[in-house]
Amino acid sequence: MTVHVPDRFLSGVIEGFYGPPWSRGERLELLEWMSRWGLDTYFYGPKDDLKCRAIWRESYEPAETEALAEMIGGCQARQIRFVHALSPGLDIRYSDPGELEHLQRRFGQMLALGCQDFSLLFDDIPDQMDPADLGRWGTLAAAQCHVANEMFLWVRQRSPDARFLFCPTPYCGRMAASGLGGPGYLDNLGRELLPGIDVFWTGPEIISAEITVEHVREVAARLRRKPLIWDNLHANDYDGHRFYCGPYSGRAPELRGEIAGILSNPNTEFPLNQVPLHTLAKFVHSRRDWDPRRAYLEAMEEWLPSFATIGVPLALEDLILFGDCYYLPYEDGASGAGLYEMVRRLLAQDPADWGPQADEFRRLATRLRTFCMRLTELSNRPLFHALHRRVWELREELDLLDRYVVLKSASGNPNASFDFHLPGTYRGGMVARLQRLLVPAPDGGFVPARMTVNPGAQTQPNR
């Protein structure tokens, strides 16, 4: 079996999240980062650009085309590939020839602006088909391949060197294993999709802690081409309480030889992406001695000037401690993990046995709380605004823990309580109450809160 190998490894950034699209100024700053760090592809497909997804048949208005033309020109001036994406899967009628005409008109508008590279996305859609489409094509994969192949040939006639990217409906291992898209979806895709089309893949999971060489080789065998990694490692649009400023991690340098490229779909808030994207670039250009933590520390040092304040400068070690609390989805940074473990052990002991441990925790918590409070002094206001909600939450939790430790250390009364916030004002609201009804189980599922979760054992009810 022949596996199609693309001519050029793609590396860069996807603006493809759910949430407010980046501003003109943020996109131009992104291009400067990419040019400086050696990333070569910018992918435009924000879910909340209505004309990329919800109303994909509608053309851009003059003001919109002006902004897109500026971005395309900015990419070309820096030798960065601009990829324009459409997501027609929510309501496309695969058996209607008029739908191809809509796609051609939309891509034609972008060609006229100077765009040369395109993508069709069929992610995050129902895997059900209209009866007419099912009767015509038989499977979802066949219908999508027909549309993608026709559009690929149409684009290549007008842009012979174009890269054409495709996102399948099951785009990770878990989705494929669950049968999303119908039986044999990926194998059908591999057989029917033209070889020159790149296929996105996020790894074993939507947000993959690790992507191994063995995993992508298995996927490549089914797709009959090296997958193009759409990496959600730093994406945060699924959880508004978190962001991720840790390093690009969980992927060995050997992976680069098994894939068509890596495009990162990062934090929705643009100012929070400097370290994630800088370390991605370091990974792409690294040798085999890749060390994510070292790359992170170097990138944090380069991020520090963005934290200039109107007062006394913030310390690098405090920025690292803060960043380690917002590291990666499945991993805290070293100092953040140390802080959590310190508190966990402290609360597991009798307060009478705390001794100097309580003082050590209070010193570290005070240091972190002070850093959080001083972020209000940032000269870079967009950065502060991107951090503000999360920082406030961290401060509140540290304040609660500190008050608890002070009270228990002083009173000697294990049942003593203290005033903090009135019920309903702190950790309150409908969402917070709903979150307390189900608790995580060790296998990644959830169980009712009345059940006790014991790692390594079956879930048992409280008695």
Closest CA to 294 of 246, 332, 335: 246
Burial classification of residue 304, based on how many CB atoms lie within 10 Å of its CB (0-12 exposed, 13-18 middle, 19 or more buried): middle
124 included as an active-site residue: yes
Please name the amino acid found at residue 421.
H
Please name the amino acid found at residue 438.
L
> In terms of DSSP H, where are the helices of 226-273?
none
Percent of the chain with pLDDT over 90: 81
Q: Do 10-290 and 308-411 agree at the fold level? A: no
CATH topology for 10-290 is: TIM Barrel (3.20.20)
Give the per-residue pLDDT at 6: 60
Give the per-residue pLDDT at 443: 75
Low-confidence ranges of the chain (pLDDT < 70): 1-6, 411-419, 451-463
Cα separation, 394 vs 339, in Å, equals: 13
Give the per-residue pLDDT at 288: 83
Give the per-residue pLDDT at 462: 35
**CATH class of the domain defined by 308-411:** mainly alpha
Cα separation, 29 vs 23, in Å, equals: 10
Cα separation, 181 vs 183, in Å, equals: 7
DSSP 257: G
**Catalytic option among 48, 96, 124, 127:** 124
* pLDDT tens profile 356-375: 999 999 999 999 999 999 99
Residues 6+ apart with CB under 8 A from 102: 56, 57, 88
DSSP 167: E
pTM over 0.75: yes
* pLDDT tens profile 78-107: 999 999 999 999 999 999 999 999 999 999
What number of CA atoms fall less than 13 Å from residue 137's CA on the CB side? 25
Cα separation, 208 vs 265, in Å, equals: 12
**C-alpha distances out from residue 291 to 246, 257, 279, 296, Å:** 13, 18, 10, 9
Cα separation, 405 vs 102, in Å, equals: 64
The domains of the chain are located at: 10-290, 308-411, 430-461
